[in-house]
Amino acid sequence: MVLNPNTSHGMTASIGRAAQAVAGPATEILAVQPEFGPVSIEGFYDEAIAAAGVAARVRASDAQDIQGLALACFGDPGLDAAREALTCPVLGIAEAAFHAASMVSSGFSIVTTMTRTCVIAEHLVVKYGFERQCRGIHGTDVPVLALEAAGNGLQAQLFAACQEALEKDRSDAIVLGCAGMAPLCEALQQRLGVPVIDGVAAAVKLLEALHGLGLKTSKRCNYARPLEKTYLGWAAPLGWPRRA
Ligand code: 2AL
């Protein structure tokens, strides 16, 4: 399952296509989104509401059928919550992209959307322990939803931002800082001549690898199932465990 934490149907479809393009023959991709929440995630407030949408969507899924979950927003909203709720492997696209980039370069630059989202990426770099490999985070002030209509002008702008990032940071690879950038990945990689990592593709392939290794999320302690309790108000149906 590839879960787009924002509620843009166009972006969910685009993310689904990016996932399908790299999926192995035995993998069935299910691209979904929350029923409520922001159409794009460009700050902490958006992210807080989106994380609740992610939790609700995960809660509503048939956990038996999901072999792996990719959270397809670069802030990885609700990642730890989804890991608690499910037993299958769960990866965020930022997390997956950092791991992939660190294996094919000595250091990478992140090129993302709005400058105000750089701090979110910065927090994740620290959380996941990639401070040494991440050489810089660059905002382009391209709004997330503008990526849906990405024409040549936008590609040229992102190409220039990637080139500048590589030079300024003395880095060897680019991590694309938004799920909406997935369709531009191949062209950017060809033009730049360095590895360009789209987290959606990286998460799908890493999930396939974890599945192949027979690995699931540990339920021993820190990602144990959410405790049974009452949730009030609009969140009442979201309490754990699942009621019939
Ligand atoms: C994102 C993303 O991947 N999806 C979204 O709505 N916002 N990331 C970002 N840096 O803007």
* Domain-embedded: residue 168: yes
Q: How far is the CA of 221 from the centre of ligand 1 (A)?
A: 30
**Is residue 111 lining ligand 1, measured as CB closer than 6 Å?**
no
The reported pLDDT for the residue numbered 105 is 98
Does the residue 36 lie in any domain? yes
Residue 186 and residue 223 in one domain: no
Q: Residue 244's pLDDT is what?
A: 46
Residues 229 and 194 both lie in one domain:
no
243 located within any domain? no
178 in ligand 1 pocket by Cβ < 6 Å? yes
CATH number at residue 30: 3.40.50.12500
**DSSP character string of the chain:** -EE-SS--HHHHHHHHHHHHHH--TT----EE--SSS-SS--SHHHHHHHHHHHHHHHHHS-GGG-S-EEE-STT-TTHHHHHHH-SS-EEEHHHHHHHHHHHH-S-EEEEESSGGGHHHHHHHHHHHT-TTTEEEEE-----GGGGGG--HHHHHHHHHHHHHHHHHHT-SEEEEE-GGGGGGHHHHHHHH-S-EE-HHHHHHHHHHHHHHTT-----SSTTPPPPB----GGGGGG-BSPP-
Report how far ligand 1's centroid is from the alpha carbon of 209 (Å). Answer: 25
The pLDDT score that the predictor gives to residue 111 is: 98
Q: Do residues 143 and 56 both lie within one domain?
A: no
Number of domains in the chain: 2
> Domain range holding 14?
2-93+202-238
User: What is the number of the ligand 1 atom nearest to the C-alpha of 6?
Assistant: 6
| Residue at 244 is within a domain | no
CB of 74 closer than 6 A to ligand 1?
Answer: yes
Give the Å distance between the CA of 40 and the centre of ligand 1.
Answer: 7
Q: Are residues 89 and 153 in the same domain?
A: no
Q: Give tens-digit pLDDT for 119-131.
A: 999 999 999 999 9
Sites in the chain below the pLDDT cut of 70: 150, 242-244
- Residue 62: the pLDDT is 73
Q: What is the pTM of this model?
A: 0.97
pLDDT of residue 102: 98
Q: Is the CB of 130 under 6 A from ligand 1?
A: no
